[in-house]
Amino acid sequence: MKFRHDNGNLPFISMGLWETIFNSIEVPIMILDKEHRIVRINKSMKNKTGIKHDVIGEKCYNIIHGTPAPPVFCPHAKTIQNNEEYTEEVEFPDFWLLVSTSPLYDFEGNLIGSGHIAQDITKQKEAEKEIHDLLELKELLMKETHHRVKNNLVTISGLLSLQAINIEDQSAKEALLDSQNRAKAMAIIHQKLYSYADFEKIDLNHYLTQLLDEILNTYSADKKVRYLLDVDDISLNVDTALILGLIINELVSNSLKYAFLEDEKYIIHVKLHKSDDKFILSISDNGKSIPDHINLEEPDSFGLTLVNLLTKQINGQISIKRDNGTLVTINFEL
């Protein structure tokens, strides 16, 4: 078998010279026919795969992979089937190869096999594994950190609750309960963080459901007050989710403390909707409206001052409507 340059004027290249050139190439190369038989294999491929004897005519999957049939990932099978180039990462016991296959044709354009060119990517895969292991360790450490922070906040919340029991002054008791709720709001965030796989995003629906349950339970209002939660399918970063949780905690707590009478049943409605990059948070109740003299821009209570400051942290605008209850709306963008 001899090969000649396309212009037809150059001398024939002998098979021996062709084999010498083929074997001198340092990149592992192999040629297979349509039946997976090895037609040519250079020294680099034989050395890489540990082949010591003549394997021409042998089935590739028997020799290279030690299997009775082509493996599922076999790029040669895909090339023969679809007449296309394919690239696959192939794992061996001690190394990895990136194998690229290209279809080969006879002089009449008929598909007769494929050519394999391999690249050793062992160091790359080892580096990827090292990075993966480091990320897993980082994730484990972050989960442990959030778990400890959550436990500490729960402990603080419990201490505040115990302290409130022994205080007779009602305003002081309410202040302690408010602080307890703020600690719970932050604790729930950290609980979600060590429960989720994604540390960057918080599912607002699950978070706010748990938060509202905790608030109503703290004020023993779960029998006379129910809440409606209307939240788009939104995931926010941890900082924003924490700010929204604290805002909702303050406003819902205010409703429970000041807007509802003992012998009535009430509803608190919490909505969070997104349009493009803009968000609208609204908290409303059907209780006694907030007094006209209270200005959310310049509040005279710590809780509403905190709401105002938190709103500014997310570059939000706050508004209030007094009509058969109270509606507070916060527009913000990320």
17-26 pLDDT tens trace: 878 888 888 8
pLDDT-derived band at 74 (thresholds 50, 70, 90) equals very high
Between 257 and 69, name the one with better pLDDT. 69
Q: Does 315 lie in the same domain as 211?
A: yes
Q: Does 184 lie in the same domain as 64?
A: no
Q: Does 229 lie in the same domain as 113?
A: no
pLDDT-derived band at 3 (thresholds 50, 70, 90) equals very low
**Does any domain span residue 239?**
yes
* Beta-bridge mates of residue 123: none
Tokens of 50: 């540990």
User: What's the CATH number where 34 sits?
Assistant: 3.30.450.20
Q: Does 195 lie in the same domain as 213?
A: no
Tokens of 137: 């360790």
Other C-beta atoms closer than 10 Å to the C-beta of 282 total 18
| Residue 189 pLDDT greater than 60, yes or no | yes
Judge whether 61 and 74 are in contact, CB under 8 Å.
yes
Q: DSSP letters of 172-234?
A: HHHHHHHHHHHHHHHHHHHHHHHHSS-SS-EEHHHHHHHHHHHHHHHTT-TTTEEEEEEE-S-
Judge whether 203 and 195 are in contact, CB under 8 Å.
no
Among 94, 120, 146, which residue terminates a domain?
A: 120
pLDDT-derived band at 85 (thresholds 50, 70, 90) equals very high
Whole-number Å distance between alpha carbons of 283 and 229: 10
Judge whether 317 and 305 are in contact, CB under 8 Å.
no
Between 328 and 276, name the one with better pLDDT. 328
Q: What is the pLDDT of residue 2?
A: 34
Q: Please report, rounded to a whole number, the percentage of residues in the chain having pLDDT higher than 90.
A: 34
Q: Does 263 lie in the same domain as 286?
A: yes
**Does any domain span residue 110?**
yes
**Does any domain span residue 27?**
yes
**Does any domain span residue 101?**
yes
| 46-50, 121-125, 142-146: segment of lowest average pLDDT | 142-146
Q: What is the pLDDT of residue 255?
A: 87
Q: What is the mean pLDDT of residues 127-144?
A: 83
**Does any domain span residue 208?**
yes
Give the residue numbers spanning the domain of 175: 131-199
Tokens of 323: 């009509």
| Residue 1 pLDDT greater than 60, yes or no | no
| Residue 16 pLDDT greater than 60, yes or no | yes
What's the per-residue H, E or C state across 12-62? CECHHHHHHHHHHCCCCEEEEECCCEEEEECHHHHHHHCCCCCCCCCEHHH
pLDDT digits over 282-324, tens only? 999 988 888 887 777 777 778 888 889 999 999 999 999 988 8
Coil, helix or strand for 275? Answer: strand
**Ordered strands of the 38-41 beta sheet:** 38-41, 29-33, 111-120, 96-105, 86-91
pLDDT-derived band at 271 (thresholds 50, 70, 90) equals very high
Work out the mean pLDDT of the chain and round it to a whole number.
84
List Cβ neighbours of 299 (8 Å cut-off, separation of 6 or more).
305, 307, 308
Q: Does 163 lie in the same domain as 229?
A: no
Pairing state between β 96-105 and 111-120? antiparallel
Among 89, 120, 151, which residue terminates a domain?
A: 120
Q: Is the pTM of this model over 0.95?
A: no
Between 68 and 188, name the one with better pLDDT. 68
With vertex at residue 240, the alpha carbon angle to CA 236 and CA 245, rounded to the nearest 5 degrees, is 100
Helices (H), 95-203: 122-165, 170-195
Q: Does 328 lie in the same domain as 219?
A: yes
Q: Does 256 lie in the same domain as 168?
A: no
Judge whether 196 and 235 are in contact, CB under 8 Å.
no
Q: What is the mean pLDDT of residues 146-170?
A: 83
Q: What is the pLDDT of residue 19?
A: 80
What total of structural domains would you count in the chain?
3
Among 64, 86, 120, which residue terminates a domain?
A: 120
Reported as half-sphere exposure (CB side, CA atoms, 13 A), residue 146 has a value of: 20
Q: Does 94 lie in the same domain as 25?
A: yes
**Does any domain span residue 8?**
no
